Structure 1
């Protein structure tokens, strides 16, 4: 079993790099006009969503790891895989921004959400196993927010496939809102 401080610092560093790459991928406006800025609206919108994704990932993990006392290799490796999946976000952000109304880029972006949610479920299980005496951790880790992410994004994929591809990214954004509101609704 290991302490968590260095591991948390690694997660923070990787997320900072991912956000930096995403922001560097936003193209500059062709000129100093509002029209030129409006031409890159999709690039900026998808950047904003990707930033929220990274911040949400950091915030969720920061809150969980604030009560974790011990981790093991299963937690480390699963989190490493999760960070790898999340590190594809800069590429997917650009891919969606350049093909905003195309299903496949939107699908891959949504798939990134679903895989990250599944890995978060696995990490939650491994964290509970690594620190079984930690009652606060056992209570804090709930699968419902991750299930809601999977369901909401999958619904967006269906809508995106049959009708409107940007529904996927809209559902990705809605799933982030769900991660923070569903636990509060469950506790009411």
Structure 2
């Protein structure tokens, strides 16, 4: 199967997810700085969620720019990934409204971990579906960024459980930043 329509579907779903996240940000009660400060948690978690969506889109855009064909395993695994990812607007609001509670932050972090695990599975399926594509095989050879995301957010969950739940959200942000830095670091790793 060609990838253009599949890429368009992914782009459309991510655009809808971002739109829903934006619509979930509460309006300030009045035009004062204090009213904006009152919704600071909602804005912070929105910013992190936006970066997650952009990062996910960027990763998929870069990978699918070199993919020549996909198969049903890729399509269904991406569908499952997008389902998990589509929970992000709800989890963004849930974590923002319960900023200091472990369970909402835990679910927010688990969205990251499950998406990273499914991305690893998709990478394997993409390599299998397009086995003659050397550029794709090389691009999907190392998964430091995905493993790093799983490790960083898992550490955040442990710290969040025992000490301070918002650490989970901070670790989600750190994992995004590490993904942006990872291509530069990969050149120095064996």
Range of TM-score over shorter length: over 0.9
Any idea what the Cα deviations from partners look like across 1:32-78, whole Å, max 9, x if unmatched?
10100110000000000000000000000000000000100000000
Give, in whole Å, the separation in 2 of the partners of 1:171 and 1:40: 21
1:51-66 alignment, distance < 5 Å: 51-66=50-65
Paired residue for 1:157? 157
**1:126 correspondence with 2:125:** yes
**TM-score normalised by the chain length of structure 2:** 0.97
Number of residue equivalences? 187
Runs of 4+, deviation exceeding 3 Å: none
Give, in whole Å, the separation in 2 of the partners of 1:180 and 1:7: 25
Give, in whole Å, the separation in 1 of the partners of 2:62 and 2:151: 23
User: Once the 2 structures are TM-superposed, how far is the Cα of residue 180 of structure 1 from its aligned partner?
Assistant: 2.3
1:1-188 alignment, distance < 5 Å: 2-141=1-140, 142-188=142-188
**Structure 2 alignment gaps of length 5 or more:** none
Any idea what the Cα deviations from partners look like across 1:103-148, whole Å, max 9, x if unmatched?
0000000000000000000000000000001010001012211000
**Structure 1 alignment gaps of length 5 or more:** none
CA RMSD of aligned residues (A): 0.7
